[in-house]
Amino acid sequence: MKGVILGLQPRAHLVDITHEIPAGDIRAGAFALAASHGFFPRGTVHVAVVDPGVGSGRRAIAVQTVNYFFVGPDNGVLSLALAREKIKAVHQITNEQLFLHPVSNTFHGRDVFAPVAANLSKGLPLGKVGASIKEFVKLSSPEPQRTANSIKGEIAYIDRFGNAITNIDNTKLASLAEGLREIIFRGKRLCELQPFYQAVPHRKPVAVPVSSGFLELALNGGSAAKKFNLRVGQAVIVRGKPH
């Protein structure tokens, strides 16, 4: 992909966000993109190629937002990032004149997305990639449930440090009763909410509102995922405790 892009746009800055997405894990790719894309300069072209359906009927899309372009398969991998952006236009990628030929059935990253991204970075109008479309695939992301004094969410992503990032938005935590806030996991108190990892002793669990914008379960100096056998989808409850 990088060779193809540099062939079309020798002045491109190529940045890998991560080499840690498990094969075919669309949700993990979508999460990594959503957590990092907004820190790149205006005009960046984001390409995501977690693409287990390559060669099948799944569509390819290019999206323009107020700040960025996004290019990838229409399988949801772009959707968590797009949910945080102001979308201007979504187009299906169909213009074969832009593709690398022969187009393989197994690596559209190289043959379709890379040349389209390079061309967009050179100023190609979005309309040239194909027709405008109205809908695109969005990953379902269950909304956390609110009660009088708690928020019930779930684990959305486990990173390479063994930290478990939930779908509970940091900005919602302030609405809980002030004072001690504790995390309930598997029906029992697991740990407290703290502002940073080392607020608890070494190898103790802690919940921290982290830099991705969401609440995270972590182990100070270790892997929470390993110690507590954490899995994506498990329920996590934050409970406010009045003074």
Nearer to a copy of itself, 39 or 188 (CB): 39
Distance CA 31, CA 166 (A): 11
CB of 121 to a copy of itself, least distance (A): 13
Q: How far is the CB of 9 from a copy of itself (least distance, A)?
A: 10
Q: 69 with 117: CB under 8 angstroms?
A: yes
Q: What does DSSP assign to residue 110? A: I
Report the residue number, 149 or 211, with the smaller CB distance to a copy of itself.
211
Which residue carries 């102001």 as its tokens? Answer: 86
Q: How far is the CB of 126 from a copy of itself (least distance, A)?
A: 22
- Which residues contact residue 139 at a Cβ distance below 8 angstroms, ignoring those fewer than 6 apart? 26, 27, 30, 76, 79, 80
* Binding footprint of a copy of itself on the chain (CB under 8 A): 2-4, 6-7, 10, 13-15, 19, 23-24, 36-37, 39-41, 44, 52-56, 100, 104-107, 110-111, 160-162, 195-199, 208-211, 216, 220-221, 223
Which CB atom, from 182 or from 197, has the smaller least distance to a copy of itself? 197
The nearest distance, CB 197 to a copy of itself, in angstroms, is 7
Tokens of 211: 């830099």
- Nearest distance, CB of residue 212 and a copy of itself, angstroms: 8
State how far the Cα of 225 lies from the Cα of 72, in Å rounded to an integer: 30
Cis peptide before 10 (omega within 30 of 0): no
Closer residue to a copy of itself, CB minimum distance, 13 or 134:
13
Q: Is the bond into 195 cis (omega within 30 degrees of 0)?
A: no
Nearer to a copy of itself, 90 or 236 (CB): 236
CB contact at 8 A, 136 and 74: yes
